[in-house]
């Protein structure tokens, strides 16, 4: 069943950001996961959405910056939002329940909610008053000794997990692989035998099982048409090499036909 806000179900809210580069990187993190609703609450840089660092770090997501809103307080940022998630590394003694993101997202994605993720400033995180305005608090699991995440990194992690909960993004399938047929494999083996003989690696009077082993190797590898062409090219290069020409007794400067 498609999510009721499948086009753009989510808002990302940044509180009091101080580094324009983080705003641009946040826009990029959102866009690669298919989100576009960005709201900044009282950023320290007055024209942050046009700041050169923000534009540079957006790297292809400038449209997210251009459509973003700047508002004076969290109340304005939460308009139309029905479920707000605070982000905090440490649980509060009082306030909304704390969840690991994936555990909450598994149930939240099935509900008809207009979801917002709220991120605090780079230096101070989220104030308690802002956390108390939210329905839940998300804590990204990190190594016990060091839990500090860059703002844009935190946005990327939550955006990815939330997109996965909403059904994910379809990965484009690779084009069909053309497996070489038995005749093509036999021809390249014969070409290889000739090249290795010219190189002096294969003694035609005592070939032993080299070609048979190569044949088994090629069969296990399921050579593609392109790979067979590469092997023919390698064999031709061996045949045309100065060392091979000397072994065959070709005069200097002679060019062999192909």
CATH of the domain at 154: 3.40.1280.10
Report the pLDDT averaged over residues 89-107. 82
Report the pLDDT averaged over residues 231-241. 91
Q: What is the rounded CA–CA span in Å between residue 40 and residue 133?
A: 16
CB contact at 8 A, 202 and 210: yes
- Residue 34 inside a domain? The answer is yes
**Domain end position, chosen among 104, 139, 165:** 165
Q: Which residues pair with 224 in a beta bridge?
A: 179
% of the chain residues with pLDDT over 70: 88
* Token output for 156: 């990327």
Domains: count for the chain: 2
**250 secondary structure, DSSP code:** P
Is 21 found in the same domain as 143? yes
Is 144 found in the same domain as 47? yes
Report the pLDDT averaged over residues 202-225. 88
Question: Which one of 22-26, 119-123, 207-211, 251-255 scores highest in mean pLDDT?
Answer: 22-26
Of 82, 74, 170, 176, give the one whose Cα is nearest residue 121: 74
Report the pLDDT averaged over residues 111-131. 91
Is 81 found in the same domain as 190? no
Q: Is 137 helix (H, G, I), strand (E, B) or coil?
A: strand
Is 148 found in the same domain as 70? yes
Q: What pLDDT score does 258 carry?
A: 32
Least confident window among 74-83, 103-112, 139-148, 151-160: 139-148
Q: What pLDDT score does 170 carry?
A: 80
Report the pLDDT averaged over residues 43-63. 94
Report the pLDDT averaged over residues 234-248. 74
**7 has a pLDDT exceeding 80:** no
**5 has a pLDDT exceeding 60:** no
Q: What pLDDT score does 91 carry?
A: 59
Q: Specify the pTM.
A: 0.70
**Dihedral angle over CA of 30, 34, 36, 37, nearest 10:** -90
Which ranges of the chain does DSSP label H, i.e. alpha helix? Answer: 20-32, 52-58, 62-67, 74-77, 101-108, 128-132, 151-165, 182-199, 210-221, 225-240, 242-248
Is 191 found in the same domain as 149? no
**Domain end position, chosen among 165, 196, 227:** 165
- Residue 175 inside a domain? The answer is no
Is 193 found in the same domain as 149? no
**206 has a pLDDT exceeding 60:** yes
- What domain range includes position 25? 10-165
* Token output for 88: 């905090």
């Amino acid at each position: 069943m498609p999510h009721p806000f499948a086009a753009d179900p989510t808002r990302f809210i940044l509180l009091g950001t101080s580094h324009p580069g983080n705003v641009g990187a946040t826009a990029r993190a959102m866009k690669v996961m298919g989100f576009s609703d960005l709201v900044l609450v009282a950023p320290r840089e007055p024209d942050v959405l046009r700041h050169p660092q923000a534009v540079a770090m957006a790297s292809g997501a400038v449209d997210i910056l251009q459509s973003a809103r700047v508002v004076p307080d969290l109340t304005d940022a939460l308009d139309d939002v029905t479920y707000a998630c605070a982000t905090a590394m440490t649980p509060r003694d009082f306030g909304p329940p704390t969840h690991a993101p994936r555990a909450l997202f598994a149930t939240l994605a099935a509900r008809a909610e207009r979801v917002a993720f709220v991120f605090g400033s780079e230096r101070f995180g989220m104030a308690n008053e802002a956390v108390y305005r939210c329905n839940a608090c998300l804590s990204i699991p990190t190594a016990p000794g060091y839990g500090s995440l860059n703002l844009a990194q935190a946005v990327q992690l939550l955006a990815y997990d939330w997109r996965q909960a909403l059904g994910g993004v379809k990965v484009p399938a690779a084009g069909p692989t053309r497996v070489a047929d038995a005749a093509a494999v036999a021809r390249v083996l014969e070409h290889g035998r000739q090249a290795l003989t010219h190189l002096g690696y294969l003694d035609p009077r005592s070939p032993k099982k080299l070609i048979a082993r190569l044949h088994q190797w090629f069969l296990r590898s399921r050579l593609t048409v392109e790979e067979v062409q590469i092997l023919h090219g390698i064999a031709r290069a061996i045949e045309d090499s100065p060392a091979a020409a000397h072994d065959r007794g070709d005069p200097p400067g002679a060019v062999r036909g192909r």
